[in-house]
Structure 1
Amino acid sequence: MPDMLVRLYALPEGRASRLGTDVTIRRALAAERRTVVAWIEERFGSLWAGEAEAALSSTPTRIHIALCKGELSGFACHDVTALGFFGPTGVDEARRGRGIGEALLFESLSAMRAAGYAYAIIGGVGPADFYARAVGAVEIPDSTPGIYADMLSPDETGT
């Protein structure tokens, strides 16, 4: 899976407002660490949960969460595996197709822009068409396997 590049200075404004009043996107708080990490590990596995733990270890945290009527429904991290990287990100399967993933993407990329980044890298992209459509991301040539090439899998670590 290739990496993709996003021009943060060209992001459109105000995307989260399209979700309606029952969905809130915000930064996770450090005190929510155990709840958020457990939720991510249950749905997306230990590798993404480990990245979420790293995102929750900074101030401000580098993880945004989506709450649907107060229930955790999605997350997006940035500056975790490498500075300037977006991800991982995920939305609960039952809540997909409602724009939550796109809102999390915009909120996280906007935080990166506010921190002074001009570009973001989306590493090891799965849904390339989604990122191209949502934020104009373009594939970085020769970026496979990228930074994740020699990463241990949960089977190799015993977790």
Structure 2
Amino acid sequence: MDLLVNLYSQRLDDLGRRVEATAAIIRLALPPEQHLIKHWVRSNFSEYWVSEVTAAMAHQPPGCFVATVDGQLVGFACYDATARGFFGPTGVSEAHRGKSIGIALLYHTLAAMKAQGYAYAIIGSAGPVDFYVNALGALPIPAAEGESIYRGMLRSE
């Protein structure tokens, strides 16, 4: 299910205040570290997400944020990877989940989209739908079964 997020909602501002004390450093990814980010995403998530990181990193500025703790990569979030206006993919290492790092990545990425002129963001094939609804007031985008940007996508075995 795809979700729509209003980037001018008070909930986004509230989310920003909620993540101010997050222990991780959240910053825009730099092109020279792309190979490190892609290796980490490949090791922790999927080759599909590596492809999306590649697309997000091709923008200027890059459409990828990273989270680091003690200089180590612990999470990432992309936008404008599969399509313009799309948030994701995003992920945090298992050892660092539950520490508001994912929420901080979400906030910083959506704030960057807003700063670039987006009024809304789409979360494509949202995993934790309830999370996005509760955190941001995200709304499901009505679609018939199988109507997705990912319809017909090549899949590995």
The sequence identity of aligned pairs, in percent, is 47
- Aligned counterparts of 1:130 and 1:54: Cα–Cα separation in 2: 26
Cα RMSD, aligned residues only: 1.2
Correspondence for 1:79: 80
- Aligned counterparts of 1:143 and 1:51: Cα–Cα separation in 2: 25
Correspondence for 1:148: 150
* Cα offset, 1:15, TM superposition: 4.2
Instruction: Give the letter for the 1:8 counterpart.
Output: L
Number of aligned positions between the proteins: 152
- Aligned counterparts of 1:36 and 1:144: Cα–Cα separation in 2: 34
Instruction: Give the letter for the 1:3 counterpart.
Output: D
Correspondence for 2:21: 18
- Aligned counterparts of 1:152 and 1:5: Cα–Cα separation in 2: 25
Deviations 1:74-130 (A, max 9, x none): 000001110010000000011101100000000000000000010000000110011
TM-score (norm 1): 0.91
SS of the residue corresponding to residue 50 of structure 1 reads helix
Compared CA separation, residues 144 and 81, structure 1 to 2 (3 A): farther
Correspondence for 1:62: 63
Correspondence for 1:37: 38
* Cα offset, 1:4, TM superposition: 0.3
Question: Which aligned segments of 4 or more residues in structure 1 are displaced greater than 2 angstroms?
Answer: 13-16
SS of the residue corresponding to residue 73 of structure 1 reads strand
* Cα offset, 1:70, TM superposition: 1.1
**Structure 2 stretches lacking a partner, 5+ long:** none
- Report if aligned partners of 1:56, 1:63 keep a CA contact under 8 Å in 2: yes
SS of the residue corresponding to residue 149 of structure 2 reads helix
**Structure 1 stretches lacking a partner, 5+ long:** none
TM-score (norm 2): 0.92
Instruction: Give the letter for the 1:57 counterpart.
Output: A
